[in-house]
Structure 1
């Protein structure tokens, strides 16, 4: 979670002049206050985080604080509340119509639970954005998570809420944290079918990842008819990411962002809140992936073949002493075989995963698996 990845992303966004594009604004929202944080998090957990901030040596196993993944530091509350506030602010702007799309690539901290920190995440800004939309009057919110890790915290928060559909594509839980997100996890008794999980075999590349996305997400969104889409775009599906085992390129990540953008326009008048997430190839992957995301949301998509700006490459070297990628592409033209058109291969592990998810969730939405 090196914050350098955020600085490099914003530097690349600025190098492409996206903040000054017509109709684009860079806006700041206040940090999430206690009443907002309580939309998702329990009061005793909020108290524990704020106590820990004044005692950096704290180890609080009950609340997941002071662990290797979630070390305590003096700004643990203020920094986490600030990130959460930006996602909530983006959701408010999109709902009220002051913005069609909102992007907070510092957000997407989807592992935080109501009562504990988990997986580098203290406050769950993604769940808070969804909860704020519900508080403002939204009746149906879709949450689409394409991080390599299961969006377990968001699923937990809305497990029994039929107003929220959570969809997560992720590496199979048998090979990756947090070991949840099986296809059989489909929502609580009060909201059957409200959770869709598509666990992908380790080693899945562009063609399989895109096939899986298009085999599940568009049909579920069409049936659910969301008023807003909140999406999480962790860049850790990439083949160079050091913490996971998928083999996706920046080009496929860009293609999925473009698809979610199109689905937002198709189903909910363009109302779309896009968040960052994981991503630990700090120089080569994260800045390009999230700059493509910002450019798509800004209505100024970047040709993948273009070179990265020289001024940005210089800044990369100054900050990291690493050479920056030269182009906005990994040199791949993403393609996939459509699941409905090409048929199901019963011997293929990816197709087995797709069909398991469709069989588990689709009937709840009146769809044939």
Structure 2
């Protein structure tokens, strides 16, 4: 019998912590979970504990010498060469105790979500602890030690032989996942992000379309800085629909970074909570239309952990479980009071109750037109294939 959705979470996922000052703060997992509990939107029987990924799982993507370096660093055995060679010990990805174990719990959560969908009768599964899309085979990058999405995709390919569509809406390009499958025609990657001219990691151009047998299975939509909702959603809906119809996947894996919001301190996009309602809504719809409902969702970036991330991530779960009516309702007063008092910075009450009060932000009349032109270029591989088939 099919089950609706599973929420993968274990306290061990909170141990992925670089420092108190670092912007990547896993407290957002706890705040989101607490919001869902205050909304009465999640039952204990829907919460499935994560597992810690085994080394053989990690080696589906990562090299053994790199895994050994992560282990050594987390045990206090750090060499000066680790930063330059492996990205471990940099400002973005500093060393912290037991980092191998903490990162393995995040990977294990995503692998748990995969098995719940493919083996245990769930249509959807959500692991908010995942989404670390910048990790490479032998190098950490952009706050990411192990790349759970890449590992999960290779795991799906090996164990379930399914075609995977990976859709990434983080403000930063999903570079680690794209390059891991750049030659693979059975994995299609689609990333919506701020243009690399303005934001790390500087990749994700429309011209990155795959290589060899994988040509035509890598898609990128780099948005202009200061892009707002209408332009973002127009490109998202058009490109996602075109790509899923073209690729016809067996499962959709979405990475749901929540850092395109104008409150986010690390990016320059100007979206509101509206996009975080519509992003999972369309993923849910297309998963049922093309994949018999198979939809696995992970977290990702998001650095306003008090106002933006909990709302954005809660919406994924509400769409997965058919509780969309709760999205437009007022936030629970007890939750608002609890986390406003816990916040490490002074936040006026209205910033919790009305999170989309626009500040004065730069606006340019040509942003939407530029994004429209980019979206058309992004879909070029589909047009090329259609033309070759017609001829």
Per-residue CA distance 1:152-182 (angstroms, 9 max, x = gap): 0001111111110000011111111000000
Residue 307 of structure 1 aligns to a residue whose secondary structure is: coil
Instruction: Mark the CA change 1:205 to 1:219 in structure 2 (over 3 Å): closer, same or farther.
Output: same
Aligned residue in 2 for 1:25:
46
Aligned residues: 354
Q: Deviations over 1:7-53 (max 9, x none)?
A: 211111111122218xx610013211011111111111111100111
Structure 1 vs Structure 2 CA RMSD? 2.2
**2:177 corresponds to which of 119, 139, 154:** 154
Aligned counterparts of 2:66 and 2:385: Cα–Cα separation in 1: 34
In terms of mean alpha carbon deviation, does 348-357 or 284-293 score higher?
348-357
Q: Indicate whether 1:170 and 2:193 are aligned.
A: yes
**Match of residue 335 from structure 1:** none
TM-score computed with the length of structure 2 as normaliser:
0.86
2:39 alignment partner in structure 1: 16
* Distance in 1 (alpha carbons) for counterparts of 2:357 and 2:304: 17
Structure 1 unaligned blocks of 5 or more: 333-344
Cα distance in structure 2, aligned partners of 1:303 and 1:163: 37
Could you tell me which residue of structure 1 aligns to residue 286 of structure 2? 263
Residues 117-136 of structure 1 correspond to what in structure 2 (within 5 A)?
Answer: 117-136=140-159
Matched, 1:283 2:309: no
* 8 Å Cα contact 2:224-2:367 kept in structure 1: no
CA deviation profile, 1:223-249 (whole Å, cap 9, x unmatched): 211100000010001011111111111
Between stretches 259-268 and 301-310, larger displacement belongs to 301-310
Contact 2:72–2:78 under 8 Å retained in 1: no
Q: CA deviation at 1:310?
A: 1.5
Deviation of 1:4 (Å):
2.1
Instruction: Confirm or deny that 1:190 pairs with 2:216.
Output: no
Structure 2: which 5+ residue stretches go unaligned? 1-23, 359-365
**Distance apart, 1:356 and its partner CA:** 1.4
Evaluate the alpha carbon distance shift between residue 362 and residue 56 of structure 1 in structure 2; reply closer, same or farther with a 3 A threshold: farther
Q: Secondary structure at the match of 2:70?
A: helix
**How many angstroms apart in 1 are the aligned matches of 2:139 and 2:279?**
31
Query: Residue 313 of structure 1 is aligned with which of 330, 336, 342?
Result: 336
Distance change >3 Å, CA 150–CA 362, structure 1 → 2: farther
Partner of 2:14: none
Q: Is the 8 A contact 1:223 1:365 kept in 2?
A: no
* Alpha-carbon shift at residue 346 of structure 1 (Å): 12
